[in-house]
């Protein structure tokens, strides 16, 4: 089995997702305890967000990690399946991952919308370029 260099950014995205997940629970469980919230009151997402204000940003970020990154994972899987090891695509993959890390740090900490949006928008451009490059491989071969 040969190593595909796009696997490393994929593993970093998976790691980021689990780091945010752990961070969310590190915030959320003490918040539930501190506010003495009955867990049954958290069955509705909207109500949970009104009750769990401290952990809301981390929760939103975790949800974000299952939106656009889905297209990243699909592109990476296709590249691995088709044995595409184009250095440009790998750089675009790393760019996407680094920008998603920045996005997560901003959203989970000081949450300045303009900074978060810039990271999000640029990461989406990197992802779009990944797909354009991948599509050119698929359509030209």
Q: CATH assignment of 7-140?
A: 1.20.120.550
What pLDDT, on a 0 to 100 scale, did the predictor assign at position 2? 62
The number of residues in the chain equals 141
Q: How far is CA 135 from CA 37, 60, 126, in A?
A: 49, 31, 14
What pLDDT, on a 0 to 100 scale, did the predictor assign at position 103? 98
What pLDDT, on a 0 to 100 scale, did the predictor assign at position 49? 87
What pLDDT, on a 0 to 100 scale, did the predictor assign at position 4? 83
Q: Check if the beta carbon of residue 103 is closer than 8 Å to that of residue 123.
A: yes
Q: DSSP readout, 50-67?
A: HH--TTHHHHHHHHHTTS
* pLDDT, tens digit, 9 for 90 and up, residues 112-138: 999 999 999 999 999 999 999 999 999
The C-alpha atoms of residue 26 and residue 28 are separated, in whole angstroms, by: 6
Instruction: List, for the chain, all residue ranges whose pLDDT scores fall below the cut of 70.
Output: 1-2
* In the chain, domain spans: 7-140
């Amino acid at each position: 089995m040969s190593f595909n260099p796009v696997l490393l950014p994929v593993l970093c995205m998976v790691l980021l997702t689990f780091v945010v997940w752990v961070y969310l629970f590190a915030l959320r469980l003490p918040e539930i305890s501190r506010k003495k919230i009955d867990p049954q009151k958290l069955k509705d997402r909207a109500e949970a967000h009104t009750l769990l204000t401290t952990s809301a940003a981390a929760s939103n970020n975790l949800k974000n990690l299952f939106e656009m990154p889905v297209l990243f994972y699909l592109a990476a899987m296709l590249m691995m399946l088709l044995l595409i090891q184009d250095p440009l695509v790998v750089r675009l993959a790393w760019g996407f991952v680094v920008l998603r890390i920045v996005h997560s740090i901003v959203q989970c900490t000081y949450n300045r919308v303009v900074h978060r949006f810039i990271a999000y928008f640029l990461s989406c451009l990197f992802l779009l370029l990944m797909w354009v490059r991948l599509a050119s491989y698929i359509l030209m071969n």
